[in-house]
Amino acid sequence: MSKKPDWLEGIFPAVVTSFNEDDKINEKAYREILHFMLPHVNGIVSCGTTGEFIYLSREEKLRVLEITLEECRGTCPVIMGTAYPSTWETFEFTKEVKDTGADAALVAAPYFMQPTFNEVYEHYERLNEIGIPLILYNIPQCTGTHFRWWTAEGLAKLENVVAIKDTSGDMPFLEAMLEKVRGEVAILVGHDEIVTAALGAGVDGAILSSGNIIPDIWQEIYQAVTSGDLEKARKLQAQNQKLVRIVARTGATQAAKEGLRMMGYDAGDSRKPIMRGGAFGREDYEEVRSHLVSLGKIPKKKVKFDLGSGKSFTVEYPAVEETPDRIGDFTLKTGEAFSGPPFHEVAHIDLMIGLKGGPVHRAVEKAMARPDETSKPRLVSESPMLMVVPTVTIRTEKQESHLFGDATEGVLQAVQDAIAVGELPEELVSEIVIVANVFVHPGAAIRFRIKFNNYKAMRAAIRRTLESRPTLEELKGDSEAFRHPFRYAP
Amino acid sequence: MPAKLEWLKGIFPPLVTAFHKDESIDAEGIRTLVRYVNDHVDGFVTSGTTGEFPYMTTEENKRVLETVIDESKGKKPVIAGASAPATKQVIEMARKAKQAGASAVLVTTPYFLHPSPKGCYQHFYELTRAVDIPVIMYNIPQTVGAFLPVDVIEDLSEIPNIVGLKDTSGNLAYTLKVLEKVEGRIDVLVGNDEIAVPSLLSGCSGAILMSANVFPELWKKAYRAVVTGKVQEAMEVQRSVQKVVRIFGGNGAGLAIKAALKMVGMNVGTARRPLRIGGSLLPEVMAEIQLELEKLGKVKPPAANFRYPSADLRSRFVDIGISAEIVNRERLRTGTGTAGADAEKVQVDLVSGSKKGEIGAVYAEQCTYPRHGYEALTTILEPNLMIRPSTLIVPFVALKNLRQANMVYGPGQAAVGKAILDGITSGKIHQKSMEDEAMLVSLTVHPRALNHHTMYRNVYKAMSKAITAAYS
């Protein structure tokens, strides 16, 4: 007997809960974010893991639900996260959620105390009495308990259980679900990295944290699969895999919010202890930004470049909140970026950009005039004029080919791409000299990684140098918690 | 009831296997090592994990074993490593070990394909049926991928030829569970250097410790202290080697031990491939090992030709192109500060000013003029979080190795960055200078500064003083 509601298929973003700077719910921004997504999705999930249900009070969650219902009424169904560690609290809250009008409750396994599977079963058996459609939610990364297939199979028989959402990323588990309960309840994938694989295997839909950022692409993938164009779906998934991997593996909440912020939505930050530059690191931030720029999702704004030499021009620049309206004085601009993993192939770039005829240019000329030796900096490009300097003295031929071969290739590619997307304005190219101090660890081995990490670091370093980042605010936010990797004894 | 072995107690080094450059066995190297440790140990282990057993043939295991027995003239027991994934292979190895005169065999939990607890039991059971030699089971989940189940050990401990368990897991709760379950029927030996003394105090009868290749006398001292009830003394030994044994364990084990042996004057070659220096063991980590061995008195420290800068502050930046005259002409800010004493003393000299002036020129020049030992680096709080005003740290004394470099660019850099940020937040450094100015910092640290934590604290203090002087 199928208990699967007709509406429970397709793409459901697990919407972030936006906060103001004073950590209160930003209702206006939340509504805007909903409207950004609504054209592309089949329903909304509020107060899921990405919605930070665990950091919200009961009152706050109910308010979020009310807003969501107001905005979605008549448009699409609303699923509400209702989990607590205890049965009594989950029961009470789920009941309130039912009375408020949610279409279904998404209930993560009781967490923290690690009850046995029998106790988990009885937990849901109790919730079953409420009468609201229940979606079982397997997310062992957070709850610490992984549903066993026989528990999930047994639970699927309960009258009001209408679906299971599996975020484990455990494909064999998902296949067991498809084997046991497909057609009886909806099976939803919650792990962004395996959406196409899961849809191809026969799941009914997806609840996704990256659905905050690319709901349109997920809908396209879903449509492709349901219309039988698997190749298209695979291609789209692969093109966005890096973005969704970062979002899925860095705690989802801050990642989704920063992605939204880059696109111009005021999602605010996650509540503490999640912080900027924490689990979703600054390196991840830069990667997401590079990706969204290439998707054309970062809005452009007019930025005036005042070179300091008397010249100035205004360009359409793919800007984020921190991008200044005016980028000034090119006497000596500096920036830095680091990119890994793995450990041995990390890239660390110190960047200088300066005017032709200025101190950076003079330093480059002096460097070129010095006698030849292996560690001598090299001019690797004429336009823009770009010098690569080894940060650590080169001692072997292998190091030399890593640095002036692989790493330099990555640096050059980054410059080309930055020009192509408008992050390094064409008008600037003939005016400046760029110096990249490049670090390659003597133990590095994987050539492609050296190149690629240097590519990523260079893209980030260019943006930071032009935008004078980190800003004082960014530095202040990290003034106590910063963790320098070499600060500690082995 | 099994007969316990009278001799199975005390300190047993799992000998590294000496190799020539072409990776062939270096028998003379093995003999030299046996002589080096002999006076301090109660027996030897050959072809253990530290001896790189997975990289050796059964024939080679036998040859190493014979060499060690011959060199020790049969006076001390020799335990032969006999580990392999398949039971049949282990039986064959144990047979060869017995023929060669081993006193016992050391056998890991069967690895790679994960046998059930039943399979593990059967593995050891069949070995004892096939070869009449005492067997020491070997729990090393770090490499096997699984713990030897305690229930299996409990049952195996009833078999007469099962005489002991070596536990390398480092999980003291597991060790104590085994000790409780086997009720004295077999001996338990600790195989994890990081918890050697706590394990001996908890009832282990001996220790098979990789670092006993390098400093067997220290472990002998600790063992004697434990058996005579001098807990404090035993823990002092443990504390003194804690950092270096952690480094050994986390950086290639046998590979690191071999590097350490070389430092104390024993050439036993390096590990077989794929392990290599620069891979599992990095040069900067070797430098850390070297310093720890100096601290333990195992290696004589080189004479330090070293002094802190003492010229007039305005003339201290001449080497990087800023003369006193420039300082005066451009009204550059200068400041200095010191903190700490002896090898932990640090000195900071800073000069800063507008990017448009000489500071900007020198900053750019330093960045484009890498010289070995004087690499200038942009100051960051952590990667991807550069401090502003842009600040270059230039070491005053040449940095001789990556470890020293790590001291300057790790705790040193973090502390300089933090002091600057606090300078800005407190208003000492004007916010406008974040964009308009640059800073050059000459950081002098002692080449043998040991403590990262103290380094951070001292550099922070010294840098804060220098900032106060420069910006008031």
Measured between CB atoms, which of B365, B409, B431 is closest to A472? Answer: B431
Nearest residue, CB atoms, B370 vs list A286, A389, A470: A389
Q: What is the mean pLDDT of residues B310-331?
A: 94
Burial class (CB in 10 A: 0-12, 13-18, 19+), B338: middle
pLDDT at residue B346 in the model: 95
Mean pLDDT over each residue of chain A, to the nearest integer = 96
What pLDDT was estimated at residue B219? 98
Partner B contacted by A460 (CB < 8 A): yes
Chosen for mutation from B243, B384, B394 (greatest number of chain A CBs closer than 10 Å) is B384
Q: Which residue has the higher pLDDT, A73 or A233?
A: A233
Task: Locate the chain B residue with the closest alpha carbon to A458.
Answer: B384
Q: Is B448 on the interface with A (CB under 8 A)?
A: no
- pLDDT for B372 equals 78
Q: How confident is residue B398, by pLDDT bands cut at 50, 70 and 90?
A: confident
Question: If contacts are CB pairs under 8 Å, which of residues 302-361 in chain A contact chain B?
Answer: 328-329, 331-332, 334-338, 348, 350, 352, 354, 359-360
Tens-digit pLDDT profile for residues B210-262: 999 999 999 999 999 999 999 999 999 999 999 999 999 999 899 999 999 99
Question: Which residues, in sequence order, are CB contacts of B318 under 8 Å at separation 6+?
Answer: B324
Helix (H) or strand (E) holding B392: strand B390-395
Q: Which of A377, A443, A490 sits opposite B288 (nearest CB)?
A: A490
Residues of A in contact with B382 (CB under 8 A): 478, 482-485
CA A389 to chain centre: 32
List A124, A137, A222, A285, catalytic entry: A137
Q: Which of B276, B277, B382 to mutate to test the interface with A (most CBs of A within 10 A)?
A: B382
Q: How close A249 gets to chain B, by Cα (Å)?
A: 19
CATH of domain A330-477: 3.30.230.60
Question: Is pLDDT of B448 > 90?
Answer: no
Please check whether residue B398 touches A, CB under 8 A: no
- With vertex at residue B241, the alpha carbon angle to CA B239 and CA B247, rounded to the nearest 5 degrees, is 120
Give ipTM to 2 decimals.
0.93
Q: Does the beta-carbon distance from A390 to B370 stay under 8 Å? A: yes
A261-289: average pLDDT: 96
DSSP per residue, A127-176 = HTTT-S-EEEEE-HHHHS-PPPHHHHHHHHTSTTEEEEEE-S--HHHHHH
Q: Which domains does chain B have, with CATH numbers?
A: 10-295 (3.20.20.70), 313-471 (3.30.230.60)
B280 at interface of A, judged by CB pairs closer than 8 A? no
Q: State yes or no: pLDDT of A423 exceeds 60.
A: yes
At residue A331, does pLDDT exceed 80?
yes
Q: Which pLDDT score, from 0 to 100, does residue B1 have?
A: 45
CATH fold group of domain A10-267:
TIM Barrel (3.20.20)
Residue contact B384–A350, C-beta within 8 A: no
**Which residue bears the tokens 């004057």?**
B265
- DSSP-based three-state secondary structure for A455: helix
Among chain B residues, CA nearest to A446: B279
Distance CA A238, CA A223 (A): 16
A486: nearest CB among B365, B406, B431: B406
Range B262-282 average pLDDT: 93
- Please classify residue B188 by burial: count the beta carbons closer than 10 Å to its beta carbon, then call 0-12 exposed, 13-18 middle and 19+ buried: buried
Render pLDDT for B346-366 as a digit per residue (tens, 0 to 9).
999 999 999 999 999 999 999
pLDDT at res. B176 = 98
Identify the weakest region by mean pLDDT among A70-84, A187-201, A475-489: A475-489
Give pLDDT, residue B3: 67
Across the interface, whether the CB atoms of B409 and A486 are under 8 A apart is answered yes
Say which range, A335-349, A409-423, B27-41, B202-216, has the weakest mean pLDDT.
A335-349
B121 an active-site residue? no
Pick the catalytic residue from B138, B223, B456, B460: B138
Distance CA B120, CA B101 (A): 26
Active site (annotated) includes residue A4: no
Q: At what angle do helices A117-127 and A149-156 cross, to 10 degrees?
A: 20
Q: State which of A110-119, A284-293, B280-289 shows the largest mean pLDDT.
A: A284-293
B290: closest CA of chain A, how far (Å): 13
Residues of chain A with CATH 3.20.20.70: 10-267
Burial string for B224-251 (b: 16+ CB within 10 Å, else e) reads ebbeeeeeeebbebbeebebbbebbbeb
| Mean pLDDT, chain B, integer | 94
Q: Which two tokens stand for residue A20?
A: 């103001």
Residue B438 · residue B363 · CB < 8 Å: yes
pLDDT above 50 (res B158) = yes
Return residue ranges of chain A for CATH 3.30.230.60.
330-477
> Is the Cβ of A472 closer than 8 Å to some Cβ of chain B?
yes
Tell me whether residues A464 and B386 touch, CB distance under 8 A: yes
Q: Does B113 touch chain A (CB under 8 A)?
A: no
Which residues are registered as beta bridge partners of A205? A10, A188
Confidence band, pLDDT 50/70/90 cuts, at residue A297: very high
Query: pLDDT tens across B412-446, in order?
Result: 999 999 999 999 999 999 999 999 999 999 999 98
Q: Do A489 and B365 touch (CB under 8 A)?
A: no
Q: Which of B363, B368, B390 sits opposite A387 (nearest CB)?
A: B368
How is residue A489 written in tokens? 């004894």
